[in-house]
Amino acid sequence: MRPVKILVDSCSDMPKAFRDRYDIDYARMKTLSDGKEQWASLDFEYYTPKELYDTMRAGKRVLTTQVPMEEFERIFTKYLEQGYDIVYIGCSLKQSSSVNTGTVVAKKLAERFEGAQVFCVDSLNACMGEGLLGIRAAEYRDQGLSAEEIHARILKDRNFVNEYVTVHSLDALKRAGRVKGSAAFFGNLLGVKPIIISDANGEQTPIKKVKGRQTSLQEIVNLLAESIEKPETQTLFVMHADSEADAEKVREEILKKIPCKDVCIGTIGPIIGASIGPDAIALFGWGREVTYAV
């Protein structure tokens, strides 16, 4: 059996420590701001998180791209030449068409690398929701499963990722087309904060609204506490868009309410950050099956 390489993309926001621990690589997307195009590095190689989010706070829009075809050709070829099969777990197709582009490139390379397999998986998630599936896939790999077996299992697992997000407003998400326009009634009404999930179809969907920032932070912790399963086996993730102090407070609340193995704080990367806006806080863990859909 051929060895398996697990890939994610710039939407995964997976911290480097976890990419290194689980031997995961990623396909890069791009950002465009003030006419300058740059690779969307999960390690913020080209600008700092503060620079990214301050640009948005100043009212400037940061545009993003899917994974370019040439980037897929580069990273797929790199590992196929080393004898790997590949499982690429990409951002939800409701938010990016990268999985479709990856599939086209994989079919093209199949003619060159006879017998190799490349599976491109719609994660139905983004940010560390996609990242959790990448880690799960790496665990399957380390158990000795083939690329085909990993692909089949991830398709079953993807609706058990639980995501709860709060943002200051829906403006950035709405401009980027990441949340349905029908959700506009949540608006920016006098401190009302939306709570967003990744629904069963991979849509970013507001499910409720609460009054005030602190209430919204408490609510996402409560929602995760209600839905999580086997927390003692899990590392939970608190991801933030240049709001580390709030992320630390949320981590403390999680540790009070959820008997988990650990809580990791990470930074929301350039692609998701450009879409979700400054000061967003997002929680991720494994829990009950997500069945809600709009």
Q: What is the DSSP pairing of strand 281-286 with strand 235-240?
A: antiparallel
- Return the ∠ at Cα 290 (arms to 288 and 294), rounded to 5°: 155
Of 159, 174, 206, the one marking the end of a domain is: 159
Same domain? 145 vs 166: no
Same domain? 177 vs 146: no
Q: Which domain holds residue 125?
A: 4-159
In a domain, 196, yes or no: yes
| pLDDT of 168 | 76
Same domain? 204 vs 96: no
* Amino acid sitting at position 213: R
Same domain? 33 vs 54: yes
Q: How far apart are CA 195 and CA 216, in angstroms?
A: 7
CATH number at residue 250: 3.30.1180.10
Q: How far apart are CA 211 and CA 193, in angstroms?
A: 6
Could you tell me which of 104, 76, 31, 45 has the C-alpha nearest to residue 270?
31
Q: Which residues, 6 or more positions from 51, have their beta carbon under 8 angstroms from its beta carbon?
A: none
Same domain? 30 vs 124: yes
Q: Which residues, 6 or more positions from 153, have their beta carbon under 8 angstroms from its beta carbon?
A: 136, 137, 140, 145
Of 126, 144, 159, the one marking the end of a domain is: 159
If one counts the domains in the chain, the total is: 2
| pLDDT of 182 | 44
* Amino acid sitting at position 262: D
In a domain, 165, yes or no: yes
Helix (H) / strand (E) containing 20? helix 16-21
Other Cβ atoms within 10 Å of 29 Cβ, number: 24
* Burial zone of 175 (CB within 10 Å; 0-12 exposed, 13-18 middle, 19+ buried): middle
pTM: 0.95
Q: SS3 for 129-198, per residue?
A: HHHHHHHHHHHHHHCCCCHHHHHHHHHHHHHHEEEEEECCCCHHHHHCCCECHHHHHHCCCCCEEEEEEE
Same domain? 166 vs 127: no
Q: How far apart are CA 192 and CA 257, in angstroms?
A: 24
| pLDDT of 125 | 98
Averaged over successive runs of 10 residues, the pLDDT of the chain (294 residues) comes to 97 98 98 93 96 92 96 98 98 96 97 96 98 98 98 98 88 62 50 89 91 95 98 98 97 98 98 94 98 90
In a domain, 292, yes or no: no
Of 159, 186, 206, the one marking the end of a domain is: 159
Residues 165/217, Cβ–Cβ less than 8 Å: no
Same domain? 8 vs 154: yes
